Structure 1
Amino acid sequence: PPANRALARPRRRLLAAAAALAALSAVSAGSLLDLRTPAPRPASAPTGEFSAGRAYEDVQVIAARSHVAGSPANEQVRAHIEQRLRGLGLETEVQDTVAPEAGQLSGAAGGATLARVRNVVARLPGTDSTGRVFLVAHYDSVQTGPGGNDDAAGTSAILEVARALTVGPRPRNDIVFVLTDAEEACLCGASAFAASHPLAADGGVVLNLEARGSTGPLIMFETSVNNAKLVDVFGRAAPHPVGTSFAVEIYRALPNDTDFTAFLDQKFVGLNSAYIDGGAIYHTPLDTPAAMDRGSLQQHGDNALGLAGSSAAPT
């Protein structure tokens, strides 16, 4: 009967997603077995380099406790991020708005999912810009954990990359640092920025920084379409490039989303990267700063800094 077929479809999707995730894990265990994360640099590293030691200080502040979108704890995290970026002398603002869930108007009884978001946005002007490179991570956490890796890793990496870029050679292209709100709830912060912020109006290249575990190599697991030029730049400019076309195709089969989805909906191009080993801590109280492999954090930052500072970055 039609009703039975309708019930079977979600089950088939779930089975397909589970099979795809198992295949991706097998690829990670096989093809990435011999890869090692770089040694984390200490806080005393040269100022123009990315230092996991310096970034980890921000991780400890950001992931001191659970900080769900809309909570007082999340407001404290936002204030810390804003203070750090302003302290670097960057043009910094808070995009305070109400936004829908990325890509759709869905929810119970056909309603819409909305959230008030406060994105922190800062810009570093390039020397001879032909476009914009957006470094993106979300600063909110789930209710069930403090988000030491997901996504204090990405947020702290961006803060350290911003610091390194302000003291080193200025990149050719404009760099926009976007720390989004309400990713865990609905991707609403990324949706608001990509769809309505003036800096997003002309599009550009998005580098999204995520984590779905506590350790392991940073894998570039999702790209925009027609990605040959982007992947070529990734291979040349990122100091520790890891990725396979198989991983990208597997992820497209999964019913998963990150902030990157909201940017793809608005026709941006870019790369989505995360480390995925140690996934048992994901979205749990165990996702603390102490659980983080600082080598994975170093790889996050090295790659982001290399790509953002590359004169070859496409726009």
Structure 2
Amino acid sequence: MRILIALAAALTVAGATTAAQAAAPAALAAPNISVANVQSHLSQFQSIASANGGNRAHGRPGYLASVNWVKSKLDAAGFTTRVQQFTSGGATGYNLIADYPGGDTGNVVMLGGHLDSVTAGPGINDNGSGSASLLEIALQMRATGFQPTKHVRFGWWGAEELGLVGSTYYVNSLATSDRSRIKAYLNFDMTGSPNAGYFVYSASGQPSGSLALQQRLQAGFTSLNVQTELTSVGGRSDHAAFARAGIPVGGTFTGAEGTKTSAQAQKWGGTAGQAFDRCYHRSCDTTSNINATALDRNADVIAYALWATAA
């Protein structure tokens, strides 16, 4: 997640039961995502970073190796993939776009997260966690034979850490007609913070249609008996480019450099007075910097929301 001012005005979730009831019929079809599989993908990201100077940052070999590895998994699963190139800071950057076969291409549901790390470390929570979860969910779409009525597209963004460069480039590159076909964008950036919180992007101030996504994500956590708080993520992550284009947005987040309060520790466990992620943008953001329970819950909620939104 890019460093910007944190807009973490958290609100207690209200009305999630109603949303859960509304989303439940479609969401019941969503698979239970294996956290072991997600962790296996994270181990691959760690290995890539270790073999390429310790990071997976824009313009560094570890980033392109990450793109190529994720692409290979998606190609083998029958997705239609393409790598979009852009330039930032004098270096070539890459977005990976993957389309699931079928569905109404005039009604696109898109999910994404950034694949790059900072130069200081391998970026396993930020944002290997979201990237690996999206990969496993994409693979499970194929494995379960999911046939959504809407068209599903995934994006793994480059150079987020330099200012949301890749996602902004992607949105700006779309023809007006293509942008209008994207009816929802869900963003997942840091879903396994070690001292985890359970935050859902607030729809307040976001494009019309965002409230339904907020409520669906809340409903997913409610189905797991996990309390959530709303957070205003502002321009901190890749949903911002989509929101500027008028596309409804939503997402989940387990916290970065912000400090967990006593009330949050009572609600979620963990340590009050400590950052949600003490290794945020540091070399210690490795595979040991992951809360497996938070990673598992968020992956299941992502699947829940996707199946409910795209069915």
Task: Give the TM-score category using the shorter length.
Answer: 0.7 to 0.9
Structure 1: distance between partners of 2:214 and 2:31:
25
The answer to whether the 8 Å contact 1:217/1:242 transfers is no
Per the alignment, residue 183 of structure 1 pairs with 160
**Alignment TM-score, normalising by the size of structure 2:** 0.73
1:263/1:71 Cα in 2 relative to 1: closer, same or farther (>3 Å)? Answer: same
Q: 1:113-139 CA deviation, whole Å, 9 max, x = no partner?
A: 786321111111344566111110111
Structure 2: distance between partners of 1:263 and 1:85:
23
For residue 172 of structure 2, the aligned residue among 170, 174, 195 is: 195
**3-state secondary structure, aligned to 1:184:** helix
For residue 214 of structure 1, the aligned residue among 164, 181, 194 is: 194
**3-state secondary structure, aligned to 1:279:** coil
For residue 122 of structure 2, the aligned residue among 146, 169, 172 is: 146
CA RMSD after TM alignment: 3.0
Bigger Cα displacement from structure 2, 187-196 vs 59-68: 59-68
Structure 2: distance between partners of 1:193 and 1:243:
31
Per the alignment, residue 259 of structure 2 pairs with none
The answer to whether the 8 Å contact 1:217/1:299 transfers is no
1:72/1:127 Cα in 2 relative to 1: closer, same or farther (>3 Å)? Answer: closer
Structure 2: distance between partners of 1:181 and 1:67:
10
Q: How big is the shift at 1:179?
A: 0.4
**3-state secondary structure, aligned to 2:281:** coil
**Mapping of 1:118-267 within 5 angstroms?**
118-127=94-103, 131-168=107-144, 169-197=146-174, 200=179, 202-211=181-190, 213-223=193-203, 224-226=206-208, 227-236=210-219, 239-240=223-224, 243-245=228-230, 247-248=231-232, 251-252=233-234, 257-267=236-246
Q: 1:35-62 CA deviation, whole Å, 9 max, x = no partner?
A: xxxxxxxxxxxx9531110111111111
**3-state secondary structure, aligned to 1:63:** helix
- Percent identity of the aligned residues? 21
1:190/1:127 Cα in 2 relative to 1: closer, same or farther (>3 Å)? Answer: closer
Unaligned runs of 5+ in 1: 1-13, 32-46, 100-112
Q: How big is the shift at 1:228?
A: 3.2
1:244/1:262 Cα in 2 relative to 1: closer, same or farther (>3 Å)? Answer: same
Which has the higher Rg, Structure 1 or Structure 2?
A: 1
The answer to whether the 8 Å contact 1:59/1:152 transfers is yes
Per the alignment, residue 308 of structure 1 pairs with 306
Structure 1: distance between partners of 2:195 and 2:73:
26
Q: How big is the shift at 1:237?
A: 5.1
